[in-house]
């Protein structure tokens, strides 16, 4: 392996080490998400490029299953409806492709998870504003902070590193959140709680 490749591995190890400090937050997010979805709420998720892939990975784990067999829960990856995405992009502009869907699908008690390696993508920032406007809890997984997205949402996990490192760490965060969610489902007294 080239020295550059080993540098990438070293960066990833550092980023993963930093995630240990987020354990309490992710555990709380899992409990909140379990309570909200069991009460009939839904999770909305969005991102661009690799972050879109991670958003869709998250929703697939909730509609399908992460670890054990259980009932499906409502989760929508906002970029995955290509007809809505392209129609909104054509009629209103790409900056509104997620916000318009959040206004359509989001409601109080839902959770909106936004992923962005930069924390600066205008369409994700507008989605955060829309999530707040509809009364959803808005969480973000971003790259290095501070950044505009982390400052706009209820709570954020900011990961240090280059874009590839951040995306890889976001996959781990998605799996940690799913693990916390499924652990909370097995807790007999999960109550609806506010995340912020």
Domain that holds residue 36: 31-186
In a domain, 122, yes or no: yes
pLDDT in tens, 12-30: 888 888 889 999 999 999 9
What's the confidence (pLDDT) of residue 6?
A: 82
53: left (phi over 0), alpha (psi -120 to 50) or beta: alpha
What pLDDT, on a 0 to 100 scale, did the predictor assign at position 191? 53
CATH code of residue 123: 3.40.50.10490
Q: What is the pLDDT of residue 192?
A: 45
pLDDT at 189: 59
CB burial readout 10-31, b (16+ within 10 A) else e: ebbeebeeeeeebeebbbebbb
Instruction: Give the helix/strand (H/E) hosting 31.
Output: helix 23-38
pLDDT at 3: 64
Number of domains in the chain: 1
Residue 149 counted as domain residue: yes
Q: In this structure, is residue 179 part of a structural domain? A: yes
Identify whether 137 is part of a domain. yes
Predicted local distance difference test score (pLDDT) of residue 195:
46
DSSP 8-state class, residue 22 = G
What is the model's pLDDT at position 4?
Answer: 65
* Residue 195 domain-assigned (yes or no): no
Residues in the chain where the model's pLDDT stays below 50: 192-196
Q: How far apart are CA 196 and CA 192, in angstroms?
A: 13
How buried is 129 (Cβ within 10 angstroms: 0-12 exposed, 13-18 middle, 19+ buried)?
middle
């Amino acid at each position: 392996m080239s020295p550059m490749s080993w540098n990438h591995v070293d960066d990833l190890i550092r980023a993963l080490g930093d995630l240990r400090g987020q354990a309490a937050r992710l555990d709380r997010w899992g409990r909140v998400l379990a309570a909200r979805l069991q009460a009939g709420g839904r999770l909305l998720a969005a991102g661009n490029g690799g972050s879109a892939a991670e958003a869709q990975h998250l929703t697939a784990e909730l509609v399908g299953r992460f670890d054990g067999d259980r009932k499906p829960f409502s989760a929508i990856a906002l970029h995955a409806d290509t007809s809505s995405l392209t129609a909104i992009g054509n009629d209103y502009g790409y900056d509104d492709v997620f916000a318009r869907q959040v206004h359509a699908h989001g409601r109080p008690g839902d959770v909106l998870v936004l992923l962005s390696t930069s924390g600066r993508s205008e369409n994700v920032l507008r989605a955060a504003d829309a999530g707040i406007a509809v009364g959803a809890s808005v969480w973000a997984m971003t790259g290095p902070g501070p950044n505009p997205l982390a400052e706009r949402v209820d709570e954020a996990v900011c990961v240090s590193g280059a874009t590839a490192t951040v995306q890889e760490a976001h996959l781990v965060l998605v799996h940690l959140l799913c693990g916390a969610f499924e652990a909370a489902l097995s807790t007999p007294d999960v109550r609806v709680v506010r995340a912020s």
